[in-house]
């Protein structure tokens, strides 16, 4: 089952990329495995999936030890600064940095652990009160401060738009993220301003996200099935 789901998703990624003239290899699938057991995750790994996204530190700590070192782990959940140490120990990329306090805590811990940490800045493109993410108009200041005062490797931007049943409705938010990234790259705010990562798109809207420039798509349900809470 995982095998078929994975093949279908990779096929859809490749087809969508080609349709808009993009190289399919520029789009990486983040297998979102929150609340998914190690057995299903291992099935994905055995079929070639080497990149996973987790939302909860405790759950991730328990599961990551079952996997070989070649797997890449992205943290995609809400992060508190008092958990920075564990986050840096466990993850290769933190996708959800949205305020200076978190950036500073991650920088401190990565220096202590002598680990080069990569991050994405999470943008609240939908300006939803309950959602994490820095507001678009406040992102430049945050990026400047991170570039000037930390050794964090800022790969690009991430967003979770408001939920819509119709994936077309996500498009303006994805487009806004791409345009922000373009502007910030001209200001040299990223680690590599010629190649900026955009983490956007989930199970129901990853095709639209790819059309708008996504380089990471974060897919859970379409790969592993519905999560039982």
Ligand X SMILES: *Cc1c(COP(=O)(O)O)cnc(C)c1O
Tell me if 206 sits within 8 A of 31, measured CB to CB. no
- Nearest Cα neighbor of 29 from 83, 91, 67, 74 is 74
* Least distance in angstroms from the C-beta of 112 to ligand X: 27
* Least distance in angstroms from the C-beta of 55 to ligand X: 5
Distance CA 18, CA 22 (A): 5
Of residues 190 and 216, the one with the C-beta less far from ligand X:
216
* Least distance in angstroms from the C-beta of 161 to ligand X: 11
Q: Which residues bind ligand X (CB under 6 A)?
A: 32, 34, 55, 76, 160, 202-203, 218-222
Length, in residues, of the chain: 229
Q: Which residue has the CB atom at the shortest distance from ligand X?
A: 220
Q: What are phi and psi of 131, to 5 degrees?
A: -95, 150
Of residues 108 and 221, the one with the C-beta less far from ligand X:
221
* Least distance in angstroms from the C-beta of 158 to ligand X: 8
Of residues 150 and 173, the one with the C-beta less far from ligand X:
173
- Nearest Cα neighbor of 38 from 8, 13, 60, 14 is 60
- Vertex 99: Cα angle to 142 and 200 (nearest 5): 85
Of residues 34 and 169, the one with the C-beta less far from ligand X:
34
* Least distance in angstroms from the C-beta of 151 to ligand X: 25
Q: 10 Å Cβ neighbour count for 70?
A: 7
Of residues 63 and 150, the one with the C-beta less far from ligand X:
63
Residues whose CB is less than 8 angstroms from the CB of residue 129 and which lie 6 or more positions away in sequence, other chains included? none
């Amino acid at each position: 089952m995982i095998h078929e789901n994975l093949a279908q998703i990779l096929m859809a990624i490749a087809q969508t990329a080609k349709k808009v003239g993009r190289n399919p290899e520029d789009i990486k699938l983040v297998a979102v495995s929150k609340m998914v057991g190690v057995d299903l995750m291992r099935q994905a790994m055995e079929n070639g999936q080497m990149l996973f996204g987790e939302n909860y530190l405790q759950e991730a700590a328990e599961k990551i030890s079952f996997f070989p070192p070649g797997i890449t782990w992205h943290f995609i959940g809400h992060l508190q600064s008092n958990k920075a140490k564990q986050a840096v120990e466990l993850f290769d990329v933190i996708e959800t940095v949205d305020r200076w306090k978190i950036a500073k805590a991650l920088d401190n811990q990565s220096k202590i652990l002598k680990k080069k940490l990569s991050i994405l800045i999470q943008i609240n493109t939908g300006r939803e009160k309950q959602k994490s993410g820095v507001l678009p108009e406040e992102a430049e200041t945050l990026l400047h401060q991170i570039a000037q005062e930390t050794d964090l490797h800022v790969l690009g931007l991430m967003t979770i738009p408001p939920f819509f049943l119709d994936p077309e409705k996500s498009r303006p938010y994805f487009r806004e993220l791409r345009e922000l990234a373009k502007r910030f790259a001209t200001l040299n705010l990223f680690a590599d301003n010629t190649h900026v990562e955009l983490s956007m798109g989930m199970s129901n809207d990853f095709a639209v996200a790819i059309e708008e420039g996504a380089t990471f798509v974060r897919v859970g349900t379409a790969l592993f099935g519905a999560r039982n809470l």
